[in-house]
Amino acid sequence: MLRTGRWLPATAVLVLTGVVGLSHAPVASSAADTFADYSGPGAIGVTRRPQPGPCPESVVPDAVQPVEIRGPQGVRIAIETAAGWSPLQAAPLRRGLVVGRAYRLRVAGIPGREGEEVYPSIRVLAKLVVPPGMAWRFPVEITIDGDDLAAAIGGGHVRRVVYASCESEGRDVVPASWFDVAPGDDPLEVARTLGDPVAEIVIGNRIPAPEIGP
């Protein structure tokens, strides 16, 4: 199965608007004015507690790609790290993954399949090129459909490839956001003919596969 990356940014235009300040009546100087006039840049802010906000670009290494993993309502997802399994949390799960490395997921809380779990493997194939400072705003989106989970629980094997279309203004090959390849075709090779593959996920393991790890 192939999934198109229609969420990728095509072109970002930043518009800077200059504001001309109006003259005001002079005011008496204060201790704050004196401190701001003679201290270095950031001297005031450094004394304050950090404020919540967007994850800065500086914390995203070149080899790491932000990923958002989605699933059906009620699904909980964990990812295996060097320290072990992360806690299960409601989808979507956001993590920064190393490009080219395989990771194992743990999917629980499957609707209609209480008590059963599947362990897909996921791999980021390429890092997206986005405007500076916006890597976490445009993660690679990977959706695990309910049909995929049902197929895995029933012994099936599902492989999805997410790709970024070469024609950002063009329509998808089909109206849906994914389509099946012909029997015998390699989804990765088909994706290369349509755009740039950025991630793949294999769903089918009912128990963790020991040969796959971070």
Angle (CA) 149-154-159 rounded to 5° is 50
Tens of pLDDT, residue by residue over 103-121, are 999 999 999 888 899 999 9
Domain extents in the chain: 2-8+61-203
pLDDT category, 184, cuts 50, 70, 90?
A: confident
pLDDT category, 10, cuts 50, 70, 90?
A: very low
Torsion of CA 160, 163, 167, 173, to 10 degrees: 0
Greater model confidence, 79 or 182: 79
Mean pLDDT estimate for the chain: 74
- pTM of the predicted model, to two decimals? 0.65
Structure tokens at 30: 């204060």
CB 1 within 8 A of CB 158: yes
* Residue in 106, 68, 69, 108 with CA at minimum distance from that of residue 84: 106
Q: What is the mean pLDDT of residues 152-160?
A: 88
pLDDT at 1 over 80: no
CA-to-CA separations, 202 to 74, 93, 171, 208, in angstroms, rounded? 21, 17, 26, 13
The pLDDT of residue 87 is 95
- Which uninterrupted H or E stretch holds 196? strand 195-203
Greater model confidence, 211 or 194: 194
The phi and psi torsions of 23 (rounded to 5 degrees) equal -75, 140
Instruction: Determine how many CB atoms are found less than 10 A away from the CB of residue 201.
Output: 22
Q: How far apart are CA 106 and CA 77, in angstroms?
A: 6
Greater model confidence, 92 or 8: 92
End-to-end Cα distance, the chain: 24
